[in-house]
Structure 1
Amino acid sequence: MRGSFDTDDRPLVLIWEVTQACDLACEHCRADARPGRHPDELTTAEGKSVLDAAARFDENQLVVLSGGDPCKRPDLTDLVAYGDDLGLRTSLTPSGTSSLTGDAIAALSDAGLRRMALSIDGGDAESHDAFRGEAGSFEETMRAAENARAANLPLQVNTTVCAQTVAQLPAIREVVREIGAVLWSVFFLVPVGRGQLLDPIGPDRADRVMEWLAEVADEEPFGVKTTEAPQFRRVKLQRRDAGPDAGLERRSGVVAGDGFAFVSHTGEIYPSGFLPKSAGTVREDDLVSVYRESSLFTALRDRDRLSGKCGQCEFRRVCGGSRSRAFAHTGDPLASDPLCPYEPDGYRPVSGD
């Protein structure tokens, strides 16, 4: 349990990767997306069953429809409307392409979409388009932001942090403010998919970036959160000289499998899209039961099972480290997160750390 939110019972965020199809070729793409849709994608009926299961977690469950580019599915608006009828809070992470028209965004908003997240990985067209692998992507993304505002649809901005983008963060901050986003979600690279070809930043620099992000959160009207960098919570506590217990009264420590679940385009149930270790499939297993009872998910929710520095860290209950990054580097989702430079009080390395 994390504060008042019981992550043993349900995830804070359930992501359904509705397709891996996408017209972009982004350098960091977890899905290694391709232009065409996979022939074994979940059907509309199967997708609605996923949404039915989400509503069994909670009628107000947050569901993120991701990709690839979810706009490549012709039934997307129907799926959003179905989720809205169930009472779900549905968000969308589309690609910045010409398919994201004003009419398409208005239709999604009318169907009940609650938020749209746009990816911005550079403070100008040149840097963003180079990272996204498509000329004109920045312009399309800015146009989509304008259309979202016209549809009264709250905006979130997603940004990848790696060696190629870290210097752009101050400029991206300005863009986030200018387009009126309500949240900036900053993703620290996990080497999966095409992201394996990118260079991550080092642990010490990661902590410095998080210290800067904490300042941004204090100064800007929009919220700031990190993805696959739960040590941001440790950094924020340390900035105010607070101990690890100070964060337990709030929802905190959400990591892969613990407050987070992912359904792939073909129905595999993962703790996260960045931790592609299957605990079942929605075509054969009950999504709610897999989250609550499978050995993989229950292990990830037991912070006392973490090994190495993460297992000995006094901040493990409010942080827990990126389980996805640990898995990507070691094959063990319970190992230490190599991005974290923090040495726990009384840390004693053991063989294999």
Structure 2
Amino acid sequence: MNVYKEKGVVGLKAVTPGETKLHSTAKKKRGFWATFKEQKVLYGMSIPFIIVVFIFSYMPVWGWLMAFQNYRPGKGILEQKWVGFDHFVALFSDEKFYQVMRNTLAMSFMGLIVGFTVPILFAVLLNEIRGSVFKRTVQTISYLPHFVSWVVVAGIVTKMLAVEGGAVNQLLMGLGFTDSPISFMSKGSWFWTIVTSAELWKTMGWNAIIYLAAITGIDQEQFEAAKVDGANRIRQIWHITLPSIAPTVAILLIMSIGHLISIGFEKQFLLGNPLVVDYSEVLDLYALNYGLGMGRFSFGTAIGMFNSLVSILLLLLANGAFKKFAKQSIM
């Protein structure tokens, strides 16, 4: 229906579906260029960042050619001997690769479950605190570990779990849970839990910031209306807070799934030792030790290429699933 005015009389005019479709199509065709003209300054400001992303994220893909060559330093990349998929065959034939994938996926899933849900819970609970001074103090203390390097964090964790003088062992013995100190750092079965706990302590406060920002953007009138209807604070969290931040949660979850096997190697390298190597070695550390460390540059490139392709596949699958079932997407 369109509003029309004729001889001082205002009324409604019926619009046919064809007219509506043509108007919508014309609007879509004009949309990009109209937006470009209105925001040309912003488009211009984004050009340097696009150039940086292209140089550091897309140009290095040229190096993936090494995965199909027997690369030797001193020759141009197009002068190398081509070996096809030999390095990938060697990768998938190596029993160590499957052990490394087990460790990578185990720590990734543990980190995803704990490191994703706890910051949401922490942000929701922190938002419920009424005292502003106490709230800011807790928030500041919680995200300070984010600025501490993994070298320092590994030193703190190792000292806390030490057999002699370790605070954890002293506490357990003082409470009567054990008669003798436990050698946490030499037990492979404990390594995944130690890494996940250390990462949670380091990143929980920082990851909660974005959820706190999303909660702050919720219309407070919804909470006032819920109070009038008799909803307690638990009901307000369940029916207002969590549904309101669901889009933010979905987007961050999709991105986290995309990085499921790209967990780095710093914490495993620093917290690991020869006694737990069967549980501490992950894909990136495997590429470093058995690729670059042994001068097998092409083999290391094949590992990195596999890592990147699996990450892209996981990202597309997660995005497609959320787009279909939750109507949320990042692409």
Q: Between the two structures, name the one with larger relative contact order (CA 8 Å, sep ≥ 6).
A: 2
Q: TM-score range by the shorter chain?
A: under 0.3
Query: What is the TM-score with the length of structure 1 in the denominator?
Result: 0.25
Greater Rg over alpha carbons, structure: 2
